[in-house]
A and B are shown apart, each in its own frame.
Chain A
């Protein structure tokens, strides 16, 4: 059975069917991300004073990823416009760039994730807090058995007996890395015996509510990038036959996949300032 209205316009909607379908899907996506943005607002407003992180993410890398997605957005729309002008060769070229941008975005995001998973917060038995990136651990390191040692490249703070401005300035060294105190922190090699460590955690989603919502939002967004890139790759690699047999239908498929890709870009346009800059 032939699928109806793949290219022909329905009189009641004024559109071909797939276009109605993708807009309905994107409407549901807006609500999905809307719910997560709403969670972000509640978590941020509910965080105790001085405990919501600022400057934990690498702004140059976030900016680079924004520019990569914007570039992929224009190559996506140019790929569609090339098909509209009957130029399949240019379509292939533009969508090859789109796919490279998708890979570049994921590579940068993976690097950022790796940075967080190798960053540790160590609560020491003497009440101090050590914070920094993993340097090395002894072969026999086992926190539960209290054997061995663990080294980080970071700094140590002491919140004991501090109140008011003094406490805020000390907290800034951990939570507000864009503040004068956060920027002034000097990192050195610090080595701790397991018996001196009360607990430790890396900066994964379990660290605090900020990392939880950061990994949820960016992880879901990255899944969208992967999904969109797979569809675009399929159409790019195997679309030649359909282009020869039914160019209008193929062009419509590219338009639909493009609308999804632009939506992915749209979500990032809000994620970038919310998570990296504010």
Chain B
């Protein structure tokens, strides 16, 4: 094996060992996030809506870590971002329609 090939392989391994360290940090952050989610669910905030918002905020942060680092979305090609852009658009639309329907009950509907 030539010295040049050996150097290239060693640089490649260095590059991935750097990645591995980052994966370990993300792993620890996800565990802390999980513990924090459970802990926050036992806090009695002034309203249940705040409990829901806090839980979803922590879940979104954890989802960002998994998608961004484990699925490498922070450094993907434009094509992938394009596909996900469409997905985000339609997903947001679906949730917006769901929320919109709350204000559109027929007259005399009993809501709680």
B-contacting residues of A (Cβ < 8 Å)?
Answer: 13-15, 19-20, 23-24, 27, 30-31, 34-35, 37-38, 41-42, 45-49, 59, 63, 66-67, 70-71, 73-74, 76-78, 81, 84-86, 258-259, 262-263, 265-266, 269-270, 272-274, 277-278
Contacts and interface: CB of A to CB of B under 8 A. Distances in A.
B2 interface: no
Given A15-B80, A27-B84, 17 more contacts: A20-B79, A24-B83, A31-B87, A34-B94, A47-B112, A66-B34, A67-B31, A76-B70, A81-B19, A259-B71, A273-B41, A273-B58, A274-B55, A277-B37, A277-B55, A278-B48, A278-B52
A85 B66 contact: no
B94 A278 contact: no
Contacts of A262: 66-67, 70-71
Contact of A63 (B24, B34, B99, B112): B34
Nearest to B37: A273
A269 B30 CA distance: 10
Given A14-B78, A42-B98, A42-B101, A27 B66 contact: no
Contact of A84 (B16, B52, B86): B16
Nearest to B27: A74
Interface of B: 9, 12-13, 16-17, 19-20, 23-24, 26-27, 30-31, 34-35, 37-38, 41, 48, 51-52, 55-56, 58-59, 62-63, 66-67, 70-71, 77-80, 83-84, 86-87, 90-91, 94-95, 97-99, 101-102, 111-112
17 contacts: A14-B77, A27-B83, A27-B86, A31-B87, A37-B95, A38-B95, A41-B98, A59-B41, A63-B35, A63-B38, A73-B66, A74-B26, A74-B27, A84-B16, A269-B62, A273-B58, A277-B55
B83 A269 contact: no
A59 B38 contact: yes
Contacts of B94: 31, 34-35, 38
Given A14-B79, A270-B63, A34 B95 contact: yes
Contact of A77 (B23, B56, B84): B23
* 7 closest A-B pairs by CB: A277-B41, A273-B55, A14-B77, A27-B87, A49-B112, A74-B27, A38-B98
B13 A85 contact: yes
A48 to B, nearest CB: 5
Interface centre among A13, A23, A71 (most CB of B within 10 A): A23
B67 to A, nearest CB: 6
A77 B70 contact: yes
Contacts of A263: 71
A13 B77 contact: yes
A81 B23 contact: yes
Interface centre among B26, B38, B97 (most CB of A within 10 A): B38
Contacts of B51: 278
Contact of A273 (B19, B59, B102, B112): B59
B91 A13 contact: no
Given A66-B34, A67-B34, A30 B91 contact: yes
Contacts of B59: 269-270, 272-273
